């Protein structure tokens, strides 16, 4: 299928063929008919992509701060590798489309094949022939509304949410600053609400358009008579509300809005403008109310709503993203909104580059609403798999399911370095799989996991998907007698673990879980120092993990499983490694707090008893400060002490002497190399299945101990 793509590294913008997306629970697959180019938002996005590295840094200082923090944690080289991976990526453009449902897995069964729908969402409702949309970001189109008009729905919902923040009443005098596409729609919504509307813009063409179709009066910002005209329009009182829909780097819209507001008026910021709010003379003396409007409405940026498909109760949250979309479509249907005059251009998808030339000002051509049109012929030609190369297939032929930043930084390069052949990479979005396939020279890119699971030429599968899918892919791969490397965790619950045990017992494949820390150079040196001891040892681990909000996907019990299952498993494995013994009992205590932002299980003390008498103590904390290194590991026994400082440095204390050990990494490279070498030499997996099983089981028992307040036996 064809999709508009921007290479974030080079800034190049083009149309390419990519695999069609796949859908999972809660998603709807839609054949696009039209999509809207939102000139303001997309112009900014494309310009960031086209900027050089310094330009990108200036426009995204928040990301620069993250990079600097990562340098402190992982070192310069590892951080540079991550940055290169991020930059060398393809970006999907667009966020407002209309089309016809091809297939649906929405949880409520609301959408059926053939339904006409409007779609929303960056990275979902893209400029692409086929899109996969979360169920709460899609709305049915009334029969009398065209696909062209429906493609404006996302922008309409943004405008509608801004108007809702304004809370206008019949007869209110309202000013709209910025008469681009968003401003024109906002003016029409206010008129439909019975308001007297005044528009302001820098463009004479847009001012005239507003006068024709959406505002009672409109004027140029630099008109010498502007303030006098506003006084006349408002009888000298000023505006009840001012809605800023402009996108501007200056502070002028904020300052102007304060000047022209009445006392106790409202200023609503919808567009991206500078917000150095001047206290005097207006905001303070008029007691103005300043409000920001968050995109399409309640639900935006809420993973639970957008990604997981959980709606807010209608009685308590009347207007959500989806309900705003539905309301806007109904306004079009009833004739309250007229979008026809706003469409200045329509381009076929193949000519998208010409459309963006207009958006970016390369072509001096007046425009406002630019639509991309998609072919209406039978789309059976869509493919889920693209052949890109004919590289020779080795003894270890690998397929990847999932290829996010972690896989691209730590797994794929090391699989290639180990001498395995890269056959097929699978991601849910075709644009991602093709990008990764081209970047790392896979033979194929795909959007369907079964194309690697059922491929007889692929004998080894790496799984790097969200946690809740691990067990399913592991079972399917083992059932097909394939070797499996899965990122932690192996399973989310006891039932999944038992199912994996059953399949593994009859499979010819090997299984490995990404417990990388035991493979770090500093870990292996410490392990060698304690090997041969006849007495038990004590392992003490302190992890300054850092705060992760409850809404993050890793904290969702149905997707990430929480940090006990998803992260603490690393340290249970490390304890097994150092003690050379099996865990038999575990007891856990977490803090108690009334702070709703904090997950108490993220601040926990865990004691693990091992079969040979050894003890492991894990203190895992999310309430500390980032300036403290993340991990401290201490191993005591037989007159020897080993210490690891954040896997960057190590110490071995023995016979009153200290040996310093450098640790260049956390063992990601070494674990992949060890796994591939074991497969090449037909040896068992570097970590035994029993050890993996016990580590996973222990994490479940930690949760049981927290809930019961009692030690839990591990069997």
pLDDT in tens, 32-74: 999 999 876 666 666 555 565 555 455 556 556 666 666 666 6
Return left, alpha or beta for 323; rule: phi > 0 is left, psi -120 to 50 is alpha, else beta.
alpha
**What pLDDT is recorded for position 527?**
95
Residue 122 pLDDT > 80, yes or no?
yes
* β-strand pairing of 631-637 with 640-645: antiparallel
Residue limits of CATH 3.30.360.10 in the chain: 517-673+681-713
Q: Where are the alpha helices (DSSP H) in 584-688?
A: 668-680
For all residues of the chain together, what is the average pLDDT? 92
Fold of the domain spanning 2-151+302-372:
Quinone Oxidoreductase; Chain A, domain 1 (3.90.180)
Return d(Cα 478, Cα 692) in angstroms, integer. Answer: 15
Residue 77 pLDDT > 90, yes or no?
no
Q: How far apart are the first and last CA of the chain?
A: 51
Fold of the domain spanning 517-673+681-713:
Dihydrodipicolinate Reductase; domain 2 (3.30.360)
* Residue 534 to residues 118, 133, 652, Cα–Cα distance (Å): 69, 59, 19
Task: State the average pLDDT over residues 269-292.
Answer: 93
Residue 550 pLDDT > 60, yes or no?
yes
Q: Where are the alpha helices (DSSP H) in 337-492?
A: 352-359, 405-406, 412-417, 430-440, 450-453, 470-479
In sequence order, the β-bridge partners of residue 31 are 100, 130
Residue limits of CATH 3.40.50.720 in the chain: 155-292, 386-513
Lowest mean pLDDT among 70-74, 325-329, 349-353, 508-512: 70-74
In the DSSP assignment, the letter for residue 556 is -
Instruction: Please state the CATH superfamily assignment of the domain spanning residues 155-292 in this structure.
Output: NAD(P)-binding Rossmann-like Domain (3.40.50.720)
∠ at Cα 97 (192, 465), nearest 5°?
Answer: 130
Residue 380 pLDDT > 60, yes or no?
no
| CATH 3.40.50.720 is held by the domain 386-513 | yes
434 alpha carbon, distance to own chain's centre: 18
**What pLDDT is recorded for position 7?**
84
């Amino acid at each position: 299928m064809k999709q508009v793509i921007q290479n974030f590294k080079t800034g190049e913008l083009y149309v390419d063929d990519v695999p069609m997306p796949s859908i999972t629970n809660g998603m709807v697959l839609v054949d696009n008919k039209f999509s809207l180019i939102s000139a303001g938002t997309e112009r900014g996005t494309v310009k960031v992509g086209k900027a050089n590295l310094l330009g990108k840094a200036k426009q995204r200082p928040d990301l620069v701060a993250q990079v600097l923090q990562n340098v402190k944690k992982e070192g310069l080289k590892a951080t540079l590798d991550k940055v290169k991976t991020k930059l060398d990526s393809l970006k999907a453009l667009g966020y407002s489309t209309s089309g016809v449902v091809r297939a649906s897995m929405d949880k409520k069964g609301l959408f059926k094949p053939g339904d006409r729908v409007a779609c929303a969402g960056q990275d979902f409702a893209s400029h692409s022939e086929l899109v996969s949309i979360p169920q709460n970001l899609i709305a049915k189109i009334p029969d009398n509304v065209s696909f062209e008009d429906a493609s404006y729905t996302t922008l309409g919902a943004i405008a509608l949410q801004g108007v809702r923040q304004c809370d206008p009443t019949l007869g209110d005098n309202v000013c709209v600053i910025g008469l681009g596409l968003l401003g024109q729609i906002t003016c029409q919504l206010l008129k439909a609400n019975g308001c007297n509307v005044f528009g302001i813009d820098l463009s004479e063409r847009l001012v005239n358009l507003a006068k024709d179709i959406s505002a009672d009066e409109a004027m140029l910002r630099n008109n010498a008579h502007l303030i006098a005209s506003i006084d006349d329009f408002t009888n000298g009182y000023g505006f009840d509300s001012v809605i800023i829909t402009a996108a501007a780097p200056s502070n002028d819209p904020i300052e102007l809005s304060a000047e022209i507001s009445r006392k106790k008026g409202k200023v609503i910021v919808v567009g991206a403008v500078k917000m150095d709010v001047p206290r005097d003379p207006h905001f303070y003396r008029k007691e103005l109310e300043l409000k920001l409007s968050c995109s399409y409405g309640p639900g935006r940026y809420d993973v639970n709503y957008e990604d997981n498909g959980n709606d807010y109760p209608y009685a308590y949250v009347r207007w959500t993203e989806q309900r705003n979309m539905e309301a806007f479509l109904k306004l079009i249907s009833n004739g309250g909104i007229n979008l026809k005059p706003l469409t200045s251009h329509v381009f076929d998808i193949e000519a998208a580059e010409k459309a963006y030339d207009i958006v970016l000002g390369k072509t001096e051509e007046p425009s406002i609403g630019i639509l991309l049109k998609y072919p209406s012929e039978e789309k059976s030609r869509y493919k889920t798999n693209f052949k890109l190369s004919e590289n020779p297939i080795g003894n270890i032929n690998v397929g990847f399911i999932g290829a996010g930043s972690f896989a691209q930084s730590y797994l794929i390069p090391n699989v290639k370095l180990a001498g395995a052949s890269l056959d097929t990479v699978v991601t849910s979005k075709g644009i991602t799989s093709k990008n990764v396939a081209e970047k790392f020279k896979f033979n194929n890119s795909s959007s369907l996991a079964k194309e690697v699971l059922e491929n007889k030429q692929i004998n080894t599968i790496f799984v790097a998907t969200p946690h809740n899918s691990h067990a399913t892919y592991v079972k399917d791969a083992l059932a097909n007698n394939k070797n499996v490397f899965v990122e932690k965790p192996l399973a989310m619950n006891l039932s999944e673990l038992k199912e994996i045990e059953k399949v593994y017992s009859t499979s010819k494949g090997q299984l490995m879980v990404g417990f990388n820390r035991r493979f770090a150079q500093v870990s292996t040196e410490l392990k060698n120092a304690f090997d041969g001891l006849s007495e038990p040892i004590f392992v003490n681990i302190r992890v300054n993990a850092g705060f992760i909000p409850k809404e993050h996907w890793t904290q969702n019990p149905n997707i990430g499983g929480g940090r006990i299952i998803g992260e603490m498993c690393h340290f249970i494995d490390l304890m097994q490694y150092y003690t050379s013994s099996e865990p038999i009992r575990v007891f856990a205590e977490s803090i108690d707090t009334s702070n709703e932002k904090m997950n108490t299980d993220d601040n926990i003390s865990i004691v693990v008893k091992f079969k040979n008498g050894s003890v492991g103590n894990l203190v895992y904390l999310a309430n500390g400060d980032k300036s403290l290194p993340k991990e401290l590991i201490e191993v005591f026994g037989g007159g020897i002490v080993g210490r690891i400082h954040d896997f960057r440095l190590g110490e071995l204390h023995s016979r009153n002497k200290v040996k310093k050990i450098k640790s260049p990494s956390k063992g990601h490279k070494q674990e992949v190399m060890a796994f591939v070498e074991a497969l090449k030499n037909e040896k068992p997996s570097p970590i035994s299945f029993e050890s993996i099983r016990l580590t996973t089981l222990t994490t479940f028992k930690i949760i049981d101990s927290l809930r019961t307040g009692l030690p839990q036996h591990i069997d």
